[in-house]
Chain A
């Protein structure tokens, strides 16, 4: 992600968008700015309003209040067929009565373009998604992954300013999904079109995106780069949704200097960057599993130490996930360890020395 001083012009912007369906408020004052050329991802649990936000951008739903600006123009009242956005639907919506070529030419044909130009563009688009020569295929003879590519080509051939993708990968099996994730990413880099992808899979969001917006019940909780989102989640809800996090109770000692007592770990001083929500209200301390270390004999010691006992473990080959009960408190924490060469795998019941550092702590509300 370029980190220039001059903020680039956002290609699409929502300003205080609300959307209600009767009593259900699907979106609450959503304000987003998405820059040109981004791979932007909307992630959140089912029913949080991701699809609704995408459909507001595409013009299928009108916001109850607020407005959408695309490429500097207000698009209130502009119907979906006049917007410079295109959509890849969750079920792909490949027209079953048209063959692949006609599906891709569908949008071009409404633009009064010469037929041989259309044909050239169609074959270019097919080449782009790796389906060269598929023009005459009937669309019902396509596999899930191929359908997906046709839907992509059909939208990209129109050179939209923004491509909207609603859970495009959720219907594919795991292997194909992973392959398509990297293909989509490459495609986006090549064409330079802004992609806005909806997913409920936080892992998918982390691996593919330049920027991620996390949504909960109609509201944006946080917008950041994948790394920032993971390392500095702004609330307990975001931290729980993105990756795994251990939570420990906190007793406030001196909020001015950031001195707190954390159960099982002892007293630490927390810098302001580690407490994005401040110290007000109910707070907990969060630690990612990889920021705890089990210290084996002969390994360098850590900044701070505590002890515990292994209660459970899951072995993944490259990694081992331990559940450890910390001495002195009635709580287990999850610790992930890379299985580097020579490092043993502890057994359930074994005593462990656990290292951690105060910088790895987050105070969340």
Chain B
């Protein structure tokens, strides 16, 4: 039996290898084409160049789109994390009538096709005669990010020992100061995870943004427009590479701080952003 086990685990490891190749296939091609000295995206490769990165750096519409995306993603992260804190706190600490129903509605976007969110906001805007704007995209993104933030923060608040807050009040602090001095520092890793996740979801969200974009495009909407022009595609590969590297750096930093935080609080290391 030992032998059979060994053999089946060998198969599993081989499978994991193939799987990783499949998973990484696009990500591996990305830098290849980003540095490839040809405006056609196909093999064989034609030599090394950095011109596509130079093109990214010198492209005003792209910068504008990137700026818009940053505005949208930062606002979304802040807003949905704030809303998530309220919902998570209410759900983990209090019992009240219709709790399940209310939380259910908040969590619905997690299992709602994004196109429904896009369409429904569009319908309201058109019916009310408003104009499309970045604000609208932010509102839509907050809607789809809040369930994720609520889930992450719910776990953080759940892990918070209630008697710590009671001890603080017992020692003479007000509720507000207790929240600032005890609750916030202890759920900070959760808040950072929530900010980070909602930021990344928003930054990459296309389906809703495309429905609600007016004159100001976000980065994915801009990329969508460029995909139609073959000569622009190598530039997009360079942009994709930059995005990948920047988000990885960001994640590694965040993970570093999370671990440091976990260590000073003597928590068991586990989980990370997941």
By a CB distance below 8 angstroms, the chain A residues around B264 are: 97, 138
**Does chain A have a CB within 8 A of B167?**
yes
Q: Check B170–A96 contact: CB distance below 8 A.
A: no
Q: Check B186–A93 contact: CB distance below 8 A.
A: no
**Does chain B have a CB within 8 A of A58?**
yes
Q: Check A86–B265 contact: CB distance below 8 A.
A: no
By a CB distance below 8 angstroms, the chain B residues around A81 are: 169-174
By a CB distance below 8 angstroms, the chain A residues around B174 are: 81
Q: Which A80-113 residues have C-beta < 8 A from chain B?
A: 80-82, 85-87, 89-91, 93, 95-97, 106-107, 110-111
Q: Check B171–A106 contact: CB distance below 8 A.
A: yes
Q: Check B266–A96 contact: CB distance below 8 A.
A: yes
- Of the 9-residue stretches B33-41, B149-157, B158-166, which lies at the interface with chain A? B158-166
Give the contacting residue for A89; candidates B166, B181, B266; CB below 8 A: B166
Complex: chain A residue closest to B173, CB-CB: A110
Number of interface residues of B (CB under 8 A): 21
* Per-position 1/0 for B237-248, Cβ under 8 A of A: 000000000000
Using known A-B contacts A81-B173, A91-B161, A107-B171, determine if residue A140 contacts B265 with beta carbons closer than 8 Å. Answer: yes
Q: Check A158–B172 contact: CB distance below 8 A.
A: yes
Would you give the shortest CB distance from B157 to chain A, in whole angstroms?
A: 15
Q: Check B163–A91 contact: CB distance below 8 A.
A: yes
**Does chain A have a CB within 8 A of B168?**
yes
How many residue-residue contacts, CB under 8 A, span A and B? 70
Would you give the shortest CB distance from B13 to chain A, in whole angstroms?
A: 37
Complex: chain B residue closest to A82, CB-CB: B172
* Complex Cα–Cα for A97 and B260 (A): 12
- Of A81, A87, A140, chain B has the most CB atoms within 10 Å of the CB of A81
By a CB distance below 8 angstroms, the chain A residues around B169 are: 60, 79-81
The interface of chain A, by Cβ under 8 A from chain B, is 58, 60, 79-82, 85-87, 89-91, 93, 95-97, 106-107, 110-111, 138-141, 151, 154-155, 158
Can you list 10 A-B contacts with CB-CB less than 8 angstroms, sorted by A residue number? A60-B169, A80-B170, A86-B171, A87-B166, A93-B166, A95-B168, A97-B185, A106-B181, A140-B266, A140-B267
The interface of chain B, by Cβ under 8 A from chain A, is 161, 163-164, 166-174, 177, 181-182, 185-186, 264-267
